[in-house]
Copies of this chain bind each other. A is one copy, B any other.
Amino acid sequence: MSPAQGGHGGRRSPSGPSVTERVLGILSAFGPGAEALTLSGIARTAGLPLSTAHRLVGELASWGALERGEDGRYRIGLRLWEVGALAPRSLGLRERAMPYLEDLYEATRQNVQLAVRDGHEVVYVERLAHPEAVRVFSRVGGRMPLNATGVGQVLLAFAPPAVQEEVLAGPLPALTPRTITDPQDLRRTLAAVRREGVAVCDGMVDPLSLSVAAPVRGEDERVVASLSVVVPSAGAEPRTIVPAVRAAARGISRALGAPSARRRPTGVVTPVPTAPDTPPRAGRGT
């Protein structure tokens, strides 16, 4: 987020990266399309001498951050996944959103996605896909540009102005001919998204699919995530989907404690027992 190196670069030096950076560099070597790597592959990708990589990878594997398969190649280990699952912006969010995603999935039998923004990109946190649904390009844990996707436009529309300007100033990648790449165009689209509270993206990721996305708000009213449904472009009738997406997004916002999504006092007693608030200052763990 805020560039930590604002002051004066400092530790960058010809002597080389720190041990920590090397370790993290090893983890970075893995990625979509590179789920399994040989030791020398890791060394090559991370730019490390083989013997150094050997030692570090060995330590990572013995802890469980990496696992070595029968083919001798390394993969990300279950232990690392476990730790990663503690990230509040993934699992915490996912946990509360799941029931609503379920319902939406069940209603459409297509693709339902939940995403957050990280920097200038969208990161998909959850995806429910019917095997026979239209193929989508995204993947849980994957990234996409903000301008080209429904969830991205929503997240950008409600992002801090500084972020919006940075993205509008930067390159706007096109995934299809219909992707919005003109800054003025995008600006208008974002305004519309803010006004409507929903984004409809037709054929911007894949010519054959259309997505409808809506914002999810946290307890401080900020947009913390976005939810979308992806359906085949042909014969899609967004009108029928928009209300469902809006409703689900609102439901999740309510589950997260967003005041604006709170149930209005009707005649009925609030049926949902508010979750026993965790003490705001739940101090020392363990």
Contacts and interface: CB of A to CB of B under 8 A. Distances in A.
Given A21-B63, A91-B141, A286-B34, A76 B80 contact: no
Interface stretch (A99-107, A234-242, A261-269): A99-107
Contact of A27 (B18, B83, B140): B83
Nearest to A61: B4
A36 B285 CA distance: 9
A50 to B, nearest CB: 16
A174 B196 CA distance: 54
Contact of A85 (B23, B33, B84): B84
A79 B84 CA distance: 8
B21 A19 contact: no
> Chain A: interface residue count, which band?
35 or more
A58 B98 CA distance: 33
A143 B141 CA distance: 22
A82 B90 CA distance: 9
Interface in A23-75: 23-24, 27-28, 30-37, 41, 45, 56, 58-65, 67, 75
A88 B141 CA distance: 13
Interface stretch (A122-130, A157-165, A187-195): A122-130
Contacts of A36: 88
Nearest to A57: B20
A185 interface: no
A120 B123 CA distance: 34
State how many copies of this chain the complex holds.
2
A65 B27 CA distance: 10
Contacts of A75: 86-88
A142 to B, nearest CB: 8
A77 interface: yes
B63 A24 contact: yes
Contacts of A61: 4
A78 interface: yes
Contact of A33 (B20, B63, B79, B285): B285
A32 B130 contact: no
Contacts of A63: 20-21, 24
Most buried by B among A65, A86, A105: A86
A284 B131 CA distance: 13
Given A31-B86, A82-B84, A106-B106, 16 more contacts: A1-B62, A24-B63, A41-B284, A45-B286, A64-B118, A67-B89, A75-B86, A75-B87, A79-B118, A80-B80, A81-B91, A82-B143, A84-B85, A95-B140, A98-B129, A102-B128
9 tightest Cβ-Cβ pairs between the two chains A and B:
A84-B84, A85-B141, A34-B285, A81-B87, A81-B84, A19-B19, A76-B87, A20-B59, A76-B86
